[in-house]
Structure 1
Amino acid sequence: MSRNGTNADVVMDGVPCKRMKVEAVDPVSPLNFNSPEALFESLISPIKTETFFKEYWEQRPLLIQRDDPSLAAYFQSLFQLTDLKNLCRQGMYYGRDINVCRCVNGRKKVLNKSSKVHYLQLRKDFDQKRATIQFHQPQRFKDELWKIQEKLECFFGSLVGSNVYITPSESQGLPPHYDDIEVFILQLEGKKHWRLYQPTVPLAREYNVEPEDKIGAPTHEFTLKQVDNTAVATERLSGFLRLLADQLEGTRDLRSSEMKKDFIRSRLPPYYLGDGSSLSIPDGKFPKLNSKVKLRFKDYIVMTVETDKDTSGETQEQMVYIYHSLRNKRNAHMMYGNDNEMAEALGLRFSLSHMDALKQLWSSEIISVKELKLNTDAEKENLVLALWTECLVEVI
């Protein structure tokens, strides 16, 4: 991964083709979507979140096995081979959306064509060549995966991606391997699993550390799986981490605003029930001075203090910026190299005098507009109106 984020691989291995042709009614989700914390705990159940972070996170692997037919049916429904038939009609491309591969003599052999993906050819490679189909970032198209992953992004505060691997029975798509700095594996049933991990090396870019210049080795050589000698790998990684620590020593500005903006402009938009509508048009009552309001989508907003971008010279003043992900493009999520990737974060700008009022909105469940800490009633109304126009507050 090229960003600091969390990734999940959904693997369907050894599932008979006839079974995957069956289009069953979507089972009721056994996961708890009441909050990001509730979802994560339902994913790792029966392990508690506190136990996970205390005993497993960045310490040792965790294997969870559950014999629950409803859970198995639910995860089986998240993505099936037959889903690719409709997706291919939408315009899928080899390399960008789909990879086809086989493990030959212990090595991965890529069987991609240099064209748009056609389902009949894809199915032929799957059935006759016994090839594995890898589908990139299915949350772009599958609503339930979108629903899961945007909540996990709220929980981890980092990007959460996924890949689907569909392998014919008695076949192998990839040689034995492991992901860098893997935290835990959730075994769902059989050979389906989610793999979550937190890469370390991408942090270097945030703090202007250049491993290839300082240590004399290309960045990719810091991945442990590419170094045969464990002692050499440990020495290289330790050296890199010491260098990173030296760079951070005494640094006051950790570029937290840039990191927050990078995350907020790249993450998934909030999940909403698809009726063709979007979150770009405010609804509900128009806010007035006597209105009581409530902040919406708090998990999808960041507030930063930055130098005013519209001024220059020695008199630049500090402003409060509110960024949000409500109108991010779901179909571009985690698709690196896309023109959308470096799009400017969406949001609002306020003078620093609005900071206390904004903090009130953040910390209050419900608050009256006239109680906001601003000098005039007009400022209070204008602040709430600006947030309402961006769909960030609602009138109660």
Structure 2
Amino acid sequence: MPKKGRKLNKCDGQQEEVPVKQKKSSAASGPLCFDSPRDFFQSLISPMSVDEFFQQYWEQKPLVLHRSDAGLASYYRSLFQLSDLQQLCSHGLQYATDLNVCRSINGEKKVLNKGGQVKFSQLKKDFEQKKATIQFHQPQRFKDELWRVQERLECFFGSLVGSNVYITPEGSQGLPPHYDDVEVFILQLEGQKHWRLYKPTVHLAREYSLEQEEHIGTPTHDFLLQAGDLLYFPRGTIHQANTPSGVDHSTHLTLSTYQNMSWGDFMLDVFPSFMFDSMKTDDRLRCGLPRNLLTCPAYGPEINKQVCVFLRHLADNLEKENKELRCTDMKRDFISNRLPPYLLDQTDVEPSGKMPSLEDTVSIRFKEHLLLTVEHSQDNTDKATELVVFVLHSLKNKRETHMMGTSEEEDEQGSQFQGLRFPLTHLAALKQLFSLERVAVADLQQIQDEDKLGLTLGLWSEGLLRVC
């Protein structure tokens, strides 16, 4: 199952909340279009089209886009520079938690962290004298424009998007050849970086042993990136990068997504509830197991055969009856850990405008940051198996802890999800509100007038609905 508060490209170390200074003025769009998630992704991979990218490259093969656009290169440089680190060190950055200092030596990663709080003078010394790479974790916590970029990408992919900045001095390499279990986009921000990509030993790999460099074969791609260029490669792609001689230093940003977003992960999420529902109507699934089955040292072929019979029957019923599968854990993990809307202030989520009435037309606010789930009631009562609808949102998520994991105290307390709960009878009306731009309150489906008012008032009170 997806893990709450997981990191992409995680590091070891204690988690501490770092104060963030937020700007409250919207930055200029520059060469990227932020009008919609799709428009943004289209501008990010320009001149390639979105359809061509997903048909020919996504989860299939690397893509290298060399762009000789001075405006784009300037915008990329503004996202993060080596000079930004001096100011960021004043926020009380911690080694391992916020950044690593590392270098690839003889094919192995050597971590050169000092421990404790990061001092810029020591960081600069290690960078210049030890030729160490600075790996800065989740810079969107501090850089508003990266918050903006990653918020749009999370809306586009419907998946968490993490990031790291890698700053590597001349003639040095930070990491040995390695692979990641995420889809990776590389933005070259400063200088030049030499990249080598190798064919993965397992398609869409998650787990396999990476041998030494001399055994991983001939590179499938060997190229130089400069400011404004973009590189994409699928998860499982073995890769390495270094700053060539003659280049003062190189800075690139990794944008990583689609961790634990496979069909297998989805089936692990939806299958338990589907099986539970099937047991209610299929008495064969409620028949007792053979005597002493659990104490057997091994199960014979007849047990495998019986399980196959059940699975085929379940698949036939799912296809024939077109039952709606319920995805819960993956949705909750995403909505509770994603970024809040860009530059959102808490005053923005207060009830907007007049209170809704039956005569009004209404629309959902922050639709890209809301999710519907159907699941069992979480009340500790006899009705705990009753199905209810949850409207979950990310409006109060903390940007400063995005993709930084959770503390032991938070894990013990359990997840606290922001949103509202409604009876299952309200599902059709909620789907109506989520699918249409505007809906007349009186036209909400399958509920009485009193429930229509209760539903819209609940959403309005949470700041999720406005009267048009």
Deviations 1:134-155 (A, max 9, x none): 1100111111111111111111
Instruction: Indicate which of 257, 261, 264 corresponds to 2:335.
Output: 264
Residue 266 of structure 1 contacts residue 333 of structure 1 at CA under 8 Å; is this kept in 2? yes
| 1:108 alignment counterpart | 109
User: What CA distance in whole angstroms lies between the structure 2 residues aligned with 1:269 and 1:28?
Assistant: 19
| 2:202 alignment counterpart | none
Over 3 Å counting, the alpha-carbon distance change for 1:321 and 1:293 in structure 2 is same
| 2:466 alignment counterpart | 394
User: What CA distance in whole angstroms lies between the structure 1 residues aligned with 2:117 and 2:63?
Assistant: 39
Instruction: Indicate which of 327, 347, 356 corresponds to 2:428.
Output: 356
Counterpart secondary structure, 1:135: strand
Residue 102 of structure 1 contacts residue 110 of structure 1 at CA under 8 Å; is this kept in 2? yes
CA shift at 1:177, angstroms? 3.4
Residue 88 of structure 1 contacts residue 119 of structure 1 at CA under 8 Å; is this kept in 2? yes
Percent of paired sites with the same residue = 50
Matches within 5 A, 1:87-106: 87-106=88-107
CA shift at 1:289, angstroms? 2.5
User: What CA distance in whole angstroms lies between the structure 1 residues aligned with 2:28 and 2:455?
Assistant: 44
Counterpart secondary structure, 2:363: strand
> Which amino acid is 1:122 matched to?
L
Indicate yes or no: 2:415 matched with 1:346: no
User: What CA distance in whole angstroms lies between the structure 2 residues aligned with 1:355 and 1:180?
Assistant: 36
Matches within 5 A, 1:81-160: 81-160=82-161
Over 3 Å counting, the alpha-carbon distance change for 1:343 and 1:29 in structure 2 is farther
Deviations 1:354-382 (A, max 9, x none): 12211221122112222223544332222
Residue 58 of structure 1 contacts residue 183 of structure 1 at CA under 8 Å; is this kept in 2? no
User: What CA distance in whole angstroms lies between the structure 1 residues aligned with 2:92 and 2:174?
Assistant: 24
Residue 306 of structure 1 contacts residue 320 of structure 1 at CA under 8 Å; is this kept in 2? yes
Deviations 1:271-307 (A, max 9, x none): 126xx54544233333233222111122211111111
User: What CA distance in whole angstroms lies between the structure 2 residues aligned with 1:84 and 1:34?
Assistant: 30
CA shift at 1:248, angstroms? 8.6
Indicate yes or no: 2:370 matched with 1:301: yes
> Which amino acid is 2:57 matched to?
Y
Residue 182 of structure 2 contacts residue 256 of structure 2 at CA under 8 Å; is this kept in 1? no
Residue 63 of structure 1 contacts residue 184 of structure 1 at CA under 8 Å; is this kept in 2? no
CA shift at 1:163, angstroms? 0.1
Residue 32 of structure 1 contacts residue 38 of structure 1 at CA under 8 Å; is this kept in 2? yes
User: What CA distance in whole angstroms lies between the structure 1 residues aligned with 2:171 and 2:335?
Assistant: 42
Residue 63 of structure 1 contacts residue 185 of structure 1 at CA under 8 Å; is this kept in 2? no
- Determine which structure has more spread, i.e. the larger CA radius of gyration: 2
User: What CA distance in whole angstroms lies between the structure 2 residues aligned with 1:173 and 1:64?
Assistant: 23
Residue range with higher mean Cα deviation, 94-103 or 369-378: 369-378
| 1:327 alignment counterpart | 396
Indicate yes or no: 2:350 matched with 1:281: yes
> Which amino acid is 1:138 matched to?
P
| 1:220 alignment counterpart | none
Indicate yes or no: 2:74 matched with 1:73: yes
| 2:51 alignment counterpart | 50
| 1:216 alignment counterpart | none
CA shift at 1:94, angstroms? 0.5
User: What CA distance in whole angstroms lies between the structure 2 residues aligned with 1:201 and 1:368?
Assistant: 36
> Which amino acid is 2:327 matched to?
S
Over 3 Å counting, the alpha-carbon distance change for 1:6 and 1:343 in structure 2 is closer
User: What CA distance in whole angstroms lies between the structure 1 residues aligned with 2:173 and 2:385?
Assistant: 60
User: What CA distance in whole angstroms lies between the structure 2 residues aligned with 1:185 and 1:65?
Assistant: 12
Structure 2 residue ranges without an equivalent (≥5): 11-26, 190-224, 227-249, 270-307, 319-323
Deviations 1:41-98 (A, max 9, x none): 1111111111111111122211111111111111111111222222222221100101
> Which amino acid is 1:285 matched to?
K
Over 3 Å counting, the alpha-carbon distance change for 1:374 and 1:197 in structure 2 is closer
User: What CA distance in whole angstroms lies between the structure 1 residues aligned with 2:187 and 2:92?
Assistant: 32
User: What CA distance in whole angstroms lies between the structure 2 residues aligned with 1:73 and 1:118?
Assistant: 28
User: What CA distance in whole angstroms lies between the structure 2 residues aligned with 1:262 and 1:327?
Assistant: 15
| 1:313 alignment counterpart | 382
Residue 159 of structure 2 contacts residue 257 of structure 2 at CA under 8 Å; is this kept in 1? no
Counterpart secondary structure, 1:283: coil
Moved over 4 A (4+): 2-9, 180-189, 193-197, 199-209, 246-255, 276-279, 339-342
Over 3 Å counting, the alpha-carbon distance change for 1:336 and 1:206 in structure 2 is farther
| 1:370 alignment counterpart | 442
Deviations 1:108-140 (A, max 9, x none): 211111211122221222223222111100111
| 1:290 alignment counterpart | 359
Residue 154 of structure 2 contacts residue 161 of structure 2 at CA under 8 Å; is this kept in 1? yes
User: What CA distance in whole angstroms lies between the structure 2 residues aligned with 1:164 and 1:272?
Assistant: 22
User: What CA distance in whole angstroms lies between the structure 1 residues aligned with 2:92 and 2:450?
Assistant: 50
User: What CA distance in whole angstroms lies between the structure 1 residues aligned with 2:448 and 2:181?
Assistant: 55
Residue range with higher mean Cα deviation, 252-261 or 52-61: 252-261
> Which amino acid is 1:269 matched to?
P
Over 3 Å counting, the alpha-carbon distance change for 1:256 and 1:182 in structure 2 is same
State the TM-score, normalizing by the size of structure 1. Answer: 0.76
Counterpart secondary structure, 2:135: strand
| 2:205 alignment counterpart | none
| 1:19 alignment counterpart | none
CA shift at 1:384, angstroms? 1.0
User: What CA distance in whole angstroms lies between the structure 1 residues aligned with 2:163 and 2:332?
Assistant: 22
Counterpart secondary structure, 1:256: coil
Over 3 Å counting, the alpha-carbon distance change for 1:376 and 1:141 in structure 2 is same
User: What CA distance in whole angstroms lies between the structure 1 residues aligned with 2:452 and 2:28?
Assistant: 47
Deviations 1:314-349 (A, max 9, x none): 773211111111111111111124355752221111
User: What CA distance in whole angstroms lies between the structure 1 residues aligned with 2:330 and 2:183?
Assistant: 22
Over 3 Å counting, the alpha-carbon distance change for 1:387 and 1:48 in structure 2 is same
Count of aligned residue pairs for this structure pair? 341
User: What CA distance in whole angstroms lies between the structure 1 residues aligned with 2:152 and 2:391?
Assistant: 20
> Which amino acid is 1:143 matched to?
D
Indicate yes or no: 2:449 matched with 1:380: no
